Amino acid sequence: MSDTTESRTTISYQGEPGANSHIICAQAYPDWTPLPCASFEEAFAAVNDGRAALAMIPIENSIAGRVADIHHLIPSSNLHIVAEHFLPIHFQLMALPGTPIEAIRTVHSHVHALGQCRKIIRRLGLKAIVAGDTAGAAREVAEAGDPSRGALAPAMAAGVYGLDILARDVEDESHNTTRFVVFSPEAVEVPAASGPTVTSFIFRVRNIPAALYKALGGFATNGVNMSKLESYMVEGQFSATQFYAEVDGHPEDPGLARALDELAYFSRELRIIGTYPAHPFRETTRLAAE
């Protein structure tokens, strides 16, 4: 295991330089060294083997929903969630320097980005080409040297790969936001009553009738808000379901403590993944919805 001074201020992320995950790393940890990784598994592994101290991982998007595969990787990572961050997502149409927008014939990007920028693709009559990720699409356009190719990517990618931005903020929905969580080898002790907190945990209910209903009843009776509940199969078995959940509050709060005790009684497995400060973006969203 590597443990150097540099690795203690390195944060891993999935994607290429200029990706949205790179942007949020730079915003949230401006003095840290970002470490690009080819996959989520590699980003987690970089923390486990000491090449990075933290991993910045997207977990859900306000339009696309949950990020595929993440919930399967969380239990086996043996890491803890210590923070959350929200990033408004903006896409720029970019191409080789000096290229007029009328010359673009194809546009390359991640499948979600293409789906979130349908209006400009349709208006310009472009052929959409799926790429591995947004920043990677920008790099590929730069390397190809073909003025008929464009990319939909974050503004940072244009600077990284020397492309011109032909149209800014071309996403269809202005509320497009991705939520990221930060993973660490060690849990961070957040004092109770220190402010709004979020607790994330995984559980598997016992194989008895109405187990899930009974397991979750304690959150309702104790007035605990459950903001997320995701289910997914374990090891490809239709009969084995694991749940990832997030609730408002701290495990030492009396109501949440009682709810977790009740959940544990009806579960064959319960593991808290992290308790961390709620990001101020949550309150902004709540007020906007009222």
Tell me, yes or no, if 178 is annotated catalytic. Answer: yes
- Give the Å distances, CA to CA, from 229 to 118, 134, 187, 240: 30, 28, 22, 16
Tell me, yes or no, if 99 is annotated catalytic. Answer: no
Contact in structure between 161 and 138 (CB atoms under 8 Å):
yes
At residue 168's C-alpha, the angle toward residues 162 and 171, to 5°, is 120
Categorise residue 247: left if φ over 0, alpha if ψ from -120 to 50, beta otherwise.
beta
For the four alpha carbons of 182, 188, 189 and 191, in that order, the dihedral sign comes to negative
Pick the catalytic residue from 44, 180, 201, 219.
Answer: 180
Categorise residue 145: left if φ over 0, alpha if ψ from -120 to 50, beta otherwise.
left
Q: How far apart are CA 269 and CA 203, in angstroms?
A: 5
Contact in structure between 73 and 10 (CB atoms under 8 Å):
no
Q: Beta strands 197-205 and 164-167: pairing type?
A: unpaired
Pick the catalytic residue from 10, 99, 134, 178.
Answer: 178
Q: How far apart are CA 206 and CA 227, in angstroms?
A: 23
Q: How far apart are CA 82 and CA 181, in angstroms?
A: 8
Q: How far apart are CA 149 and CA 126, in angstroms?
A: 10
Catalytic annotation, residues:
178, 180
